[in-house]
Amino acid sequence: MSAKPPAADPIQDAPSVTEPMSAAAGPAAIAHAMKNAQRQMGVRRTALTLLRVNQHEGFDCPGCAWPDPDSPHAFEFCENGAKAVAEEATLRRVTPAFFAEHTVEDLAGRSGYWLGQQGRLTHPMYLPEGGDRYEPVGWEMAFDLIAGELRALPDPDRAVFYTSGRTSNEAAFLYQLFAREFGTNNLPDCSNLCHESSGAALTETLGVGKGSVLLDDLHRADLIIVAGQNPGTNHPRMLTSLEKAKAAGARIITVNPLPEAGLERFKNPQTPRGLAGGGTPLTDLFLQIRLGGDQALFRLLNKLIINRGGAVDTPFIRRHTHGFEAFSTVARAADWEETRRATGLSRTDIERALAMVLASRRIIVCWAMGLTQHKHAVPTIKEVVNFLLLRGNIGRPGAGVCPVRGHSNVQGDRTMGITEKPDAAFLDALGREFGFEPPRDPGFDVVESIRALRDGAATVFFAMGGNFVAASPDTAVTEDAMRRARLTVHVSTKLNRSHCVTGARALILPTLGRTERDVQGGGAQFVTVEDSMGVVHTSRGRLRPAGPRLLSEPAIVCRLARRVLGESSATPWEEFERDYRGVRARIARVVPGFEAFEERVARPGGFTLPHAPRDERHFPTATGKANFTAAPVEYPAVPEGRLLLQTLRSHDQYNTTIYGLDDRYRGISGGRRVVLVNPEDAKELGFDDGAYADLTSEWTDGTERTAPGFRVVHYPTARGCAAAYYPETNVLVPLDATADGSNTPTSKSLVIRLTPTAER
Ligand SMILES: Nc1nc2c(c(=O)[nH]1)N[C@H]1C(S)=C(S)[C@@H](COP(=O)(O)OP(=O)(O)OC[C@H]3O[C@@H](n4cnc5c(=O)[nH]c(N)nc54)[C@H](O)[C@@H]3O)O[C@H]1N2
Ligand SMILES: Nc1nc2c(c(=O)[nH]1)N[C@H]1C(S)=C(S)[C@@H](COP(=O)(O)OP(=O)(O)OC[C@H]3O[C@@H](n4cnc5c(=O)[nH]c(N)nc54)[C@H](O)[C@@H]3O)O[C@H]1N2
Ligand SMILES: [Mo]
């Protein structure tokens, strides 16, 4: 199988390469943010908008899910937050005239970058069966079309309702309610591609699938381990917290195959020292691990802790945990030689890490996609939990698990019931509140949805945000599956690839973004979101909407629900659309932790959801205790002459949204088709820096997938490992290559070989 990049891409991909940087942010970051924002929004709008980001009376940054401090700076944003805002608040528009000019085939030949640069969607658009381009359509007609298709289905499970993580709590709650009243739990979401492994591991071991630390804990920790995360690019405001933690005496261990600039040194643009000086060094110990070696690393550390007399917290283990004996038996079998093979780390490195662990009473482990997107992601995260449990680091101030979420409300969407595997208690409460019998069978996750579309088991695809075909694995398979649908519908702010690879008929429904005013019959509305640490707060946009025809996400769901469900639904959809307070009143009655929602969310900074392990060392697991687990150690096997490839983000993108062609901290500019390879490996394989290679992934079932034409960059990554950007490399990820226990695509461990690119 091979997939060509879009053919007629007018953007020249010609990467040039300099030395990677060793510090993040600083004045250059502000300058970049401003330049980019002014290009999209002009000077006045830039100033007005950026001042409102993450303020108590402002809107929640549509960038990442990192929490806001109690008293935000006047400029509580970062370079990449500013880019996310500019991308949405841009003055450019994609109008019906644009669609009249461009056929769908033409659009399908453009790069994702080009599509995104065209601006905000302004009109509902319809692609009729057999048509070659989208045409404007009225909202009522659009809802009729969708209702017609949905009602004609022989079974509600033939429809799939995807969600991306920017959707507010209110919209998410309404959306899942609509899907379930319609009769299906087919509610896949971007979590399936993201932190699903964290949720699975934490639910089994601690009883709650979320992080157990608050911002304050980070500032009180003795030791923070950041494993498999690049906060300098993806959660830049986290660097401020790490800096604060260091100032209070914390030490930081970074575990990563790549030396990432942000973790090396941080120049805080909010302090004089960060603006003028060399910044703060963050990482005290850098463990340059091989891709997929983390479980082995933590297992050996666990053995060494157990063997060290008095190092484990015996009273905590006795009182609060289960399975310690079985775990310690297995852990004792860990050995140095296997750990070295799995991790590539030296004994000295690991002994240094151990000494830092033993010297620390309060330890936090932070992680993101570097741990979640592997075949053995779930056991890896469970091993991190074992590590923390051994020394009582759960439910103690300054300690705990900190999975750092991606999308700004991806955690809240789950809390609101966006999941294909709802628990019975949630369904009971929902059914009781709205007087219907919710479906009980589990629905499709992302990978299962693709299979269902491919096999004809699902024929209608509806997306609340996101860019499903570009974010999903196995691009050729996914696109082919999408083309088999009867109808594809996208509620979107910006044009993307998923609008160009459609079912027989397709709709684009333009919606308001976070930055925009949302006025309904009941007056000006706000929405709420939940950050990565379980803090729920309001978000209020102030800008005039990108066009008069845009509807908010809650309004779209309410109108669609009325049209599809008709008399059969007793839910007051019209009232919900008029005034979101009505929605919040229902959330308060259905979702635990949201009692007195309206009142508590009105307080500056909002409120923190309860978290039993954190708050009271109560573990709502099957055993009623925190569970040690004893999975066998795994790590990827890489045959001779092959490399292990991770697919990651550049500094100039938000997932499938490409802001620009530079990856400043890594020294790459003007192009994205690059593959970073350790210089020793590159030499052994016969690739000079600057040579061009095709990347071919080799999957266990014998199939191969190729992405052609990548510039080889000699880069200081761990031996045997390589890195290239997503989504260009999604063609290489087999649909069936997923994590055990979470079904998340293994985007961080693909066995590949390089072959010289024949012609360019
Ligand atoms: N500006 C910006 N912000 C974003 C996003 C964005 O695209 N742009 N995306 C958002 C989303 S949805 C998410 S989920 C997060 C993603 O945030 P990250 O997880 O930081 O994103 P990635 O670029 O995938 O980076 C993965 C990191 O893990 C390391 N890594 C890879 N494999 C391994 C491994 O096996 N072991 C270890 N120890 N390290 C490994 C990589 O070298 C890299 O540093 O960011 C969110 N924030
Ligand atoms: N190979 C590989 N694949 C990956 C990953 C990886 O690391 N490697 N990471 C995975 C991860 S962590 C994630 S989270 C997924 C991301 O998958 P998605 O969430 O599906 O993708 P995004 O690129 O974030 O979606 C961008 C689109 O969302 C729309 N949008 C933006 N804001 C709004 C809004 O407020 N409302 C609505 N309705 N629409 C909006 C815009 O039209 C924009 O084009 O990708 C996954 N795919
Ligand atoms: Mo994500």
CA 607/CA 529 separation, integer angstroms: 11
DSSP 665: G
- The overall average pLDDT reported for the chain is 94
The pair of structure tokens assigned to 459 is: 């024929």
Please report which confidence band the pLDDT of residue 10 belongs to, taking 50, 70 and 90 as the band edges: very low
CA 452/CA 445 separation, integer angstroms: 10
Higher pLDDT, 746 or 26: 746
> Among all ligands shown, which has an atom nearest to the Cα of 654?
1
Pocket test for ligand 1, best of 286, 649, 655, 662 (most atoms within 8 A of CB): 649
Q: Judge contact between 739 and 760, C-beta under 8 A.
A: no
Longest Cα pair distance anywhere in the chain, in angstroms? 74
pLDDT at 54: 72
CA 519/CA 575 separation, integer angstroms: 14
Determine if ligand 2 sits within 6 Å of the CB of residue 162: no
Determine if ligand 2 sits within 6 Å of the CB of residue 730: yes
Residue-wise pLDDT for 547-593, tens only, equals: 999 999 999 999 999 999 999 999 999 999 999 999 999 999 999 99
Residues with Cβ < 8 Å from 651, sequence gap 6 or more? 80, 232, 233, 662, 663, 664, 665, 666
pLDDT at 454: 98
Q: Judge contact between 704 and 728, C-beta under 8 A.
A: no
CA 181/CA 572 separation, integer angstroms: 13
pLDDT at 8: 45
Q: With residue 227 as reference, give the H or E element that holds it.
A: strand 223-227
Pocket test for ligand 2, best of 85, 464, 507, 655 (most atoms within 8 A of CB): 655
Return the amino acid letter for 219: H
Residue-wise pLDDT for 311-350, tens only, equals: 999 999 999 999 999 999 999 999 999 999 999 999 999 9
CA 369/CA 646 separation, integer angstroms: 10
The pair of structure tokens assigned to 322 is: 């289960």
The residue length of the chain stands at 760
DSSP 69: P
Which residue from 431, 508, 570, 501 is spatially nearest to 3, judged by alpha carbons? 501
Which residues are in the CB-under-5-Å shell of ion ligand 3? 194, 406
Residue-wise pLDDT for 602-650, tens only, equals: 999 999 999 999 999 999 999 999 999 999 999 999 999 999 999 999 9
The pair of structure tokens assigned to 462 is: 């509806």
Higher pLDDT, 279 or 228: 228
Neighbours of 758 (CB within 10 A): 9
Q: How far apart are the two ends of the chain, measured CA to CA in Å?
A: 20
**582 by DSSP, 3-state: which?**
helix
Please give the average per-residue pLDDT across 35-59, as a whole number: 78
Pocket test for ligand 2, best of 59, 122, 162, 166 (most atoms within 8 A of CB): 166
Q: Judge contact between 206 and 212, C-beta under 8 A.
A: yes
Is the predicted pLDDT of residue 6 greater than 60, yes or no?
A: no
Is the predicted pLDDT of residue 271 greater than 80, yes or no?
A: no
CA 620/CA 639 separation, integer angstroms: 42
CA 457/CA 460 separation, integer angstroms: 10
Q: Judge contact between 613 and 395, C-beta under 8 A.
A: yes
pLDDT at 11: 53
State residue 520 phi and psi, 5-degree precision.
Answer: -120, 180
Please report which confidence band the pLDDT of residue 73 belongs to, taking 50, 70 and 90 as the band edges: low
pLDDT at 517: 96
Pairing outcome for strands 643-648 and 750-756: antiparallel
Please report which confidence band the pLDDT of residue 5 belongs to, taking 50, 70 and 90 as the band edges: very low
Determine if ligand 2 sits within 6 Å of the CB of residue 657: yes
Distance, CA 262 to ligand 2 centroid (Å)? 23
CA 367/CA 220 separation, integer angstroms: 18
pLDDT at 273: 64
Which residue from 91, 93, 118, 2 is spatially nearest to 500, judged by alpha carbons? 118
Residues in the ligand 1 pocket, defined by CB under 6 Å = 63-64, 80, 194, 227-230, 233-235, 255-258, 260, 289, 291-292, 294, 368-370, 406-407, 646, 648-649, 653-655, 748
